Amino acid sequence: MDDQAIRLRKDRAAFKADDVKVDLIALVVAVNDSEPCVLTIGQADTLPSGPFALEHRSLQSGLRGWVEQQTGHRLGYIEQLYTFADRDRIGAERQQRVISISYLALTRKEQAAGSPKCGWQSWYEYFPWEDHRSGTPPVVLDVLRPRLIEWANGVRDAATRRERWQRATIAFGFDDRLWNEELTLQRYELVYEAGLVQEAVRGRDAAPPPLVPSKSMVADHRRIVATGIARLRSKIKYRPVVFELMPPVFTLLQLQRTVEALAGRLIHKPNFRRLIEQQELVEETGEATTETGGRPAKLFRFRHAVLDDRLIAGTKLPLARG
C-alpha cells in the first residue's frame, strides 16, 4: 500500500511550520580543594547556556562557544547529558517550543582567569543531602525524613502512601538501607515532588512552605546538575574520567580526595591505592612533594595510553559500601 507512504509525506510537510528553538546548556564541573564545583553565571543560579545557531559547526562547538563567551572557559572533555522539551518552556509571544540539550563538561578550575559575572559553586550548596563524606549529613534524618513521611502520608490512597515511602526509603537509605550515591537524580525528583525545593513551588502563590535549606536555580537548571552528578558518580566507576579534573601532576591522596568529593563518600585508602596501581592508570614522575605535610608524597601523572584500552576493561574505583 502506497497510501501510507503518501500520507506520511504529506503529514511531514504539514508540520513544516513548527520550528523550534534549541538551547544548549552546559554543566561545567571542576574539583578544587576536595570540593566539587559547578560553573555558574548570574546570581550563582544559572548554568552557562545559549541558543544553537546556524554558524555553529556542531552542537558541541556551539556549546563551547557560549561557555567561552559567558565565562571565559575553554572546555575540554564534553559529554551529552539529556535533551528535554518541557511544556512550561513555551515562548510567550509566539507559540514556540524550546528544546534544551544539556552537556556535562569536566575541567580544572585554575585553567582560566575568572570572568566577570561567573563563578564556581560547590555542588553541595544545591544538594546538601548528597555529601556523606563525614557521615550522613544531619539534614537527611532531621529534615528530609520527617518531611518525606509527611508527604507520603499526605495522600488518601494507602497504596500510594506505601509506594511514596518506599521510594524515599530506597533513595535516601532510610531504615538501615545502604546509601547509594548514584541516586542523586531520584532524590532530587523526590524532594521536588514533595514540594521541598523552591523550584517546585515557584509561581504558586500559596503560603511559603517549609523548604529544605538549599540553594535553588533558574528554570530546571538544578535538575540538570542532579543529572550530571548522577552521571558522573556512575561513570567514574568504569571510565577514567577523574583525570580530566586533575592537574597534570598529583599525589595519590589528592586523587582519592577528588574521587571522594565527587562520590560524596569516603574510600578505604589501601584499597584505593591498590586498585589505581594495579590498573596502571598512573605512573610516577619520580618527584615528590613535601607540601602535603608528613612524609613526602610521590607525584604521579596520568597514563594517557589507557584512554585507549580502558574501553575494554573499564576502570573500577573502590567505593566503600558501609
Partner DNA sequence: ATCCCTTATACTCACAGCAAGTATATGCTG
Partner DNA sequence: CAGCATATACTTGCTGTGAGTATAAGGGAT
**Would you count residue 268 as binding DNA (CB under 7 A)?**
yes
Identify the three-state secondary structure at position 85.
coil
H or E stretch at 302: strand 297-302
Binding track over 59-78 against its own copies, x by CB under 8 A: x---------xx--------
**Would you count residue 239 as binding DNA (CB under 7 A)?**
no
Question: Which is nearer to its own copies, 1 or 206 (by Cβ)?
Answer: 1
CB of 312 to its own copies, least distance (A): 5
Query: 65 contacts which partner out of DNA, its own copies, none, CB within 5 to 8 A by kind?
Result: none
Cβ neighbours for 258, distance < 8 A, ≥ 6 positions apart: 31, 34, 242, 245, 246
Query: 294 contacts which partner out of its own copies, DNA, none, CB within 5 to 8 A by kind?
Result: DNA
Asked whether the beta carbons of 59 and 24 are under 8 A apart, the reply is yes
Binding track over 89-128 against its own copies, x by CB under 8 A: ------xxx-x-x-------------xxx-----------
**Would you count residue 295 as binding DNA (CB under 7 A)?**
yes
Cβ neighbours for 143, distance < 8 A, ≥ 6 positions apart: 212, 213
**Would you count residue 320 as binding its own copies (CB under 8 A)?**
no
Neighbours of 163 (CB within 10 A): 13
Q: How far is CA 281 from CA 31, 252, 266, 285, 306, in A?
A: 19, 11, 20, 13, 7
Burial class (CB in 10 A: 0-12, 13-18, 19+), 203: exposed
Instruction: Name the residues that contact its own copies, by CB under 8 A.
Output: 1, 4-5, 8, 11-12, 15-16, 18-22, 50-54, 57-59, 69-70, 80, 82-87, 95-97, 99, 101, 115-117, 163, 166-167, 170-171, 177-178, 180, 183, 186, 308-309, 311-312
